[in-house]
């Protein structure tokens, strides 16, 4: 594997993660379909679906820091969140260009952009920098609303609320029964991503902002050997996020996704490389791929061994929640913490404990 082209290795990893995510999506869809039919699922709910609940995972992270409790509602979401943070601290924003399916989609949209315009159109700096701040503003909002404002009681209330318990199902239903407004927002984002390269990742993704901030302290970075560099600038021209690679001895930019495209096109051996220190400890691309895969595999294994992988929500509870999705249990209070009838909720929990049979679709509790 050492002699394989760098980008072949990266694509192999990308498509491997994409296949895994697709299988998780299919399995979870079948699980929810059985719930909607009013039967106890015979298909196991895939814990990996919680990787698509970043806000719930951030709340779980704060709850863990405050209370020391690894909440049992969406535990794998927190495990995946911690693994992603670890990738940024160790391997720059490698998650974005090696694992994230949206990163892979962005690459194909960039190709479409190049096909339409016959070249890469770059945003002027006076507009690029203000737009890049948008994702950090979104990140600061979530940090303020969750990390700063929410106390242990608020966190506990949200984590064990009926709304959070079925956040994964509501996410699926958002796409299955998408509203006209949400559909056109997604279409607008798609069009903007074709017209403006990396639009979502570069300007709006708060996850990217979080990983970008952590990547400043990343152990491994792209380094350039000035002694052997011929200033051909192929590295800069090929960089998908417009970093001036040929002008730096070490890439510190928060936009670097560690895609290693610059390393792949460099015509001079050992001039560009990813390492922990300049001119020493170079990490071979194949080893980079292995490390990022082992981080996710290791995280899931540790989660299973420590009992922090499978949700504690029983299939009977899931069945009841699916039947109640349009009741006051799930109404929002100004779009924030859900409000529900506590007495009805306690009664429901008592009934579930006494009877593990599934709840029929459409069945309702009286207030």
- Pair 118, 189 in one domain: yes
Measured CA to CA, the distance from residue 219 to residue 275 in angstroms comes to: 8
Q: What is the pTM of this model?
A: 0.86
- pLDDT at 12 exceeding the cut of 60: yes
- The verdict on residue 198 lying in a domain is yes
- Pair 272, 303 in one domain: no
Q: Are 225 and 212 in contact (CB under 8 A)?
A: no
* Closest among 225, 227, 222 to 239, alpha carbons compared: 222
- The verdict on residue 315 lying in a domain is no
- pLDDT at 227 exceeding the cut of 80: yes
User: What tens digit of pLDDT does each residue of 82-118 get?
Assistant: 999 999 999 999 999 999 999 999 999 999 999 999 8
- Residue 329's Cα: distance from chain center in Å? 28
Q: What is the pLDDT of residue 138?
A: 95
- pLDDT at 172 exceeding the cut of 70: yes
- Pair 226, 209 in one domain: no
How many folded domains does the chain comprise?
2
- Pair 202, 249 in one domain: no
**Mean pLDDT within 344-348:** 53
- Residue 10's Cα: distance from chain center in Å? 18
- The verdict on residue 91 lying in a domain is yes
Give the CATH number of the domain where residue 255 resides. Answer: 3.30.70
Q: Are 76 and 309 in contact (CB under 8 A)?
A: yes
Q: Are 25 and 52 in contact (CB under 8 A)?
A: no
Q: Which domain holds residue 68?
A: 7-214+293-310
Per the prediction, the chain carries an average pLDDT of 86
Q: What is the pLDDT of residue 4?
A: 65
- The verdict on residue 351 lying in a domain is no
Measured CA to CA, the distance from residue 245 to residue 239 in angstroms comes to: 8
3-state secondary structure of 276: strand
188 Cβ contact list (under 8 Å, min separation 6): none
Measured CA to CA, the distance from residue 324 to residue 359 in angstroms comes to: 10
- Where residue 267 falls among pLDDT bands split at 50, 70, 90? very high
- Residue ranges of the alpha helices (H) in 118-151? 125-142
The C-alpha angle with vertex 250 and arms to 248 and 253, in degrees rounded to 5, equals 85
- pLDDT at 123 exceeding the cut of 90: no
Q: What is the pLDDT of residue 196?
A: 93
Q: What is the pLDDT of residue 346?
A: 54
- The verdict on residue 57 lying in a domain is yes
């Amino acid at each position: 594997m050492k002699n394989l082209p760098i980008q072949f290795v990266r694509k192999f990893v990308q498509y491997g993660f994409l296949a895994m995510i697709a299988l998780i999506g299919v399995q979870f869809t079948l699980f929810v379909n059985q719930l909607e039919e009013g039967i106890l699922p015979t298909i196991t709910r895939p814990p990996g679906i919680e990787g698509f609940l970043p806000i719930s995972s951030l709340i779980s992270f704060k709850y863990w820091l405050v209370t020391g409790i690894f909440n049992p509602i969406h535990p794998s979401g927190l495990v995946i969140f911690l693994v992603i943070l670890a990738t940024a601290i160790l391997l720059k924003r490698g998650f974005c260009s090696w694992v994230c399916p949206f990163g892979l989609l962005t690459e194909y949209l960039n190709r479409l952009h190049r096909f339409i315009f016959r070249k890469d159109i770059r945003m002027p700096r006076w507009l690029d920098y203000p737009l890049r701040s948008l994702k950090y503003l979104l990140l600061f909002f979530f940090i303020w609303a969750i990390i700063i404002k929410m106390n242990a009681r608020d966190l506990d209330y949200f984590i064990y609320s009926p709304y959070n318990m079925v956040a994964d199902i509501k996410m699926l239903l958002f796409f299955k029964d998408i509203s006209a407004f949400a559909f056109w927002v997604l279409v607008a984002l798609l069009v903007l991503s074709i017209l403006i390269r990396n639009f979502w990742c570069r300007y709006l993704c708060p996850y990217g902002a979080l990983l970008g901030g952590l990547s400043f302290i990343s152990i491994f970075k792209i380094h350039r050997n000035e002694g052997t560099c011929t200033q051909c600038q192929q590295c800069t021209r090929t960089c998908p996020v417009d970093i001036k690679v040929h002008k730096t001895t070490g890439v510190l930019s928060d936009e670097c996704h560690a895609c290693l495209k610059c390393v792949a096109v460099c015509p001079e051996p050992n001039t560009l490389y990813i390492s922990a220190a300049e001119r020493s400890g170079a990490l071979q691309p194949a080893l980079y791929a292995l490390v990022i895969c082992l981080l996710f595999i290791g995280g899931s294994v540790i989660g299973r061994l420590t009992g922090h992988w499978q949700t504690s929500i029983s299939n009977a509870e899931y069945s009841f929640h699916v039947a109640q999705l349009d009741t006051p249990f799930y109404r929002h209070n100004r779009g924030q913490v859900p409000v529900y009838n506590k007495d009805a909720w306690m009664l429901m929990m008592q009934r579930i404990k006494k009877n593990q049979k599934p709840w029929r679709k459409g069945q309702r509790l009286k207030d």
